[in-house]
Structure 1
Amino acid sequence: MANESMVPLLPCASIDEIHDFCVALGFEVTYRQTRPNPYLAVRRGGIDLHYFGIEGFRPEASYGSCLVVTDDTTALYDAWAAGLRARYGRLPLSGFPRITRPRRRANADGLSGFSLVDPAGNWIRVTRRPADPSAAPAEGEAGAASTAGTAVEGEGRAVATTTSSGTDEDRPAEGTPGESRLLRAVADAVVQADSRGDVEQGAKILDGALRRDADAGDQGASARDRVEAQAYRAELAVRLDDPGTARRMLDEVDRCVAAARGQHLTQDLTTVLTQLEDVRAWLSAQG
């Protein structure tokens, strides 16, 4: 087998801005030039990213995307989140740059994944390596205004994507045995908001699911499932620049947790509650 690799070339308005962003995430600069055209190459472990400068380029107009396959999405997320907090003072959940949290992707065979959107609007999509190396994850993810398919090259390489349509992102989440309807709705919302970039649709799915769960009363989801859904809805409110809904969801989480004090809070729920501190920090910055 030939020793081949693929490196994505991503557009940006300023290689200086991208340089500072990438260094904060632990990348090293392997090449840089300003003339005759701006160009920057960075590397972190098995991830190579190359950027070329375009004067007047707007992140909202970017269709750039690549895929990173790793054995541990949580470790990579934690490292990048720490770098983002150090550079920006808090975890950026909206705008450019921003990051989503590792979550199970129903459109990627249930593998955990998250997305990092750089200052130029390029989506760096991270997914866990499948147990079967021949079963490449096919998220069929999309940026804010595009539908992108993915191609995978092993050993944690970032690879360029190609556009496609009619992919698995249009399927509703099938869920797992014993999973509540509310958690299945969360999985659907993750596909729309985190994978496709359609945050409004993800919020709409969760709003309907939370309303139906409230109407179900004692027959509804567990406190743990409800908190997970409310916490994710709060995060989507941040992305939509909707502080009112973010505050309301945090209040709902607080009430739900207070009512469930006698129940065992799993480590997973504790993690969700800890992550909400980033939402609270965003709200504090709103004044």
Structure 2
Amino acid sequence: MANEVTVPLLPCASIDDIVAFYEVLGFRTTHRQRKPNPYVALRREDLHLHFFEMPGFDPEQSYGSCLVLTSDTGELYQAFAAGMRAAYGKVLISGTPRMTRPRARKNHDGLSGFSVIDPGGNWIRVVQNAAVSPTPSPVPAGRLAKALANAVVQGDSRGDFQQAARILDSALARVETGDDPVALVEVLAYRAEVAMVLNEPATAATMLARVDRVALNTEETERATGALQSSADIAAALA
């Protein structure tokens, strides 16, 4: 048989909160019920997510997760980010719900990925479809790039932001004149994002100030576009 479709069924404390959040991301409700159990089905083009409500459920203790394979993680991220900016005036970076920025995943053959952590505490892990991009990205070159790759595995994949912070702080403590300035901006921007997740706004502000002091030429600025936009989003969250 072919053409089967698998739809994740994820827990939440309130289907009302789930609907409100996913509507911001461009989803629409295809089914909703309160009896015999609270349940909602959501759809955005070919992306289907279903949720059930559990009395007393704590999103901070959720293990709910699923993978979303897409041909373009950047395009989907930008659509989600635009929805957040329109609804909240900023991209949600810390707390629950929130969203991470697309980055190469060392534990996914170097392909791009980002995560949406929804009001139910579910991690919707959006990753580049290997069938569409079968060629793995090269192993990161340079000390800062390797540190970033390791930190992303700990933070964005495992949710261990304390360990991600330790990896990044160790790398930033040994910045050298010959280090790639784009890699430095990427590390600083991610450290600021990690600080926001850890509720350390002062550290995030310090990292953003360091980003502003990194000199970039035109080509480097273009390569650092994602990190610079991330820094702007964090600055907006701090304002």
> Given the two structures, how large is their TM-score scaled by the length of structure 2?
0.93
Looking at structure 1, the residues matched to 182 and 14 of structure 2 have their Cα atoms a distance apart, in angstroms, of 44
Find the counterpart in structure 2 of residue 140 from structure 1. Answer: none
Moved more, 185-194 or 78-87: 78-87
Equivalent residues in 2 for 1:21-60, closer than 5 Å: 21-60=21-60
Find the counterpart in structure 2 of residue 236 from structure 1. Answer: 194
Looking at structure 1, the residues matched to 225 and 79 of structure 2 have their Cα atoms a distance apart, in angstroms, of 20
Find the counterpart in structure 1 of residue 72 from structure 2. Answer: 72
Residues 28 and 43 in structure 2, CA contact (< 8 A), matched pair in contact too: yes
Find the counterpart in structure 1 of residue 154 from structure 2. Answer: 192
**CA deviation after TM superposition for structure 1 residue 264, in Å:** 4.1
C-alpha distance 98-132 of structure 1, shift in aligned 2 (>3 A): closer
Looking at structure 2, the residues matched to 32 and 264 of structure 1 have their Cα atoms a distance apart, in angstroms, of 49
SS, match of residue 199 in structure 2: coil
Q: Root-mean-square deviation (CA), in Å? A: 2.0
Find the counterpart in structure 2 of residue 61 from structure 1. Answer: 61
SS, match of residue 127 in structure 2: strand
Aligned pair partner of 2:211 in 245, 253, 267: 253
C-alpha distance 132-254 of structure 1, shift in aligned 2 (>3 A): closer
**CA deviation after TM superposition for structure 1 residue 3, in Å:** 2.4
Unaligned runs of 5+ in 1: 138-173
Find the counterpart in structure 1 of residue 222 from structure 2. Answer: 267
Is the aligned partner of 1:210 residue 2:172?
yes
Looking at structure 1, the residues matched to 7 and 203 of structure 2 have their Cα atoms a distance apart, in angstroms, of 40
SS, match of residue 51 in structure 2: strand
Find the counterpart in structure 1 of residue 237 from structure 2. Answer: 282
Moved more, 220-229 or 45-54: 220-229
Looking at structure 1, the residues matched to 132 and 79 of structure 2 have their Cα atoms a distance apart, in angstroms, of 26
**CA deviation after TM superposition for structure 1 residue 11, in Å:** 0.6
Looking at structure 1, the residues matched to 201 and 182 of structure 2 have their Cα atoms a distance apart, in angstroms, of 23
Q: Partner amino acid for 1:107?
A: N
Find the counterpart in structure 2 of residue 94 from structure 1. Answer: 94
**CA deviation after TM superposition for structure 1 residue 132, in Å:** 6.6
> Given the two structures, how large is their TM-score scaled by the length of structure 1?
0.78
Looking at structure 2, the residues matched to 268 and 39 of structure 1 have their Cα atoms a distance apart, in angstroms, of 44
Looking at structure 2, the residues matched to 222 and 46 of structure 1 have their Cα atoms a distance apart, in angstroms, of 39
Looking at structure 2, the residues matched to 93 and 271 of structure 1 have their Cα atoms a distance apart, in angstroms, of 14
Find the counterpart in structure 2 of residue 118 from structure 1. Answer: 118
Q: Partner amino acid for 2:186?
A: E
Looking at structure 1, the residues matched to 221 and 234 of structure 2 have their Cα atoms a distance apart, in angstroms, of 21
Q: Partner amino acid for 1:212?
A: R
Moved more, 107-116 or 270-279: 270-279
**CA deviation after TM superposition for structure 1 residue 281, in Å:** 1.2
Give per-residue Cα distances to partners, 1:241-286, cap 9 Å, x unaligned. Answer: 11111111111111123xx46x7434121332122111111211xx
Looking at structure 1, the residues matched to 68 and 43 of structure 2 have their Cα atoms a distance apart, in angstroms, of 12
**CA deviation after TM superposition for structure 1 residue 127, in Å:** 0.4
SS, match of residue 43 in structure 1: strand
Looking at structure 2, the residues matched to 32 and 224 of structure 1 have their Cα atoms a distance apart, in angstroms, of 47
Unaligned runs of 5+ in 2: none
**CA deviation after TM superposition for structure 1 residue 223, in Å:** 1.6
SS, match of residue 265 in structure 1: helix
Q: Partner amino acid for 2:231?
A: L
SS, match of residue 67 in structure 1: strand
Is the aligned partner of 1:175 residue 2:133?
no
**CA deviation after TM superposition for structure 1 residue 202, in Å:** 0.4
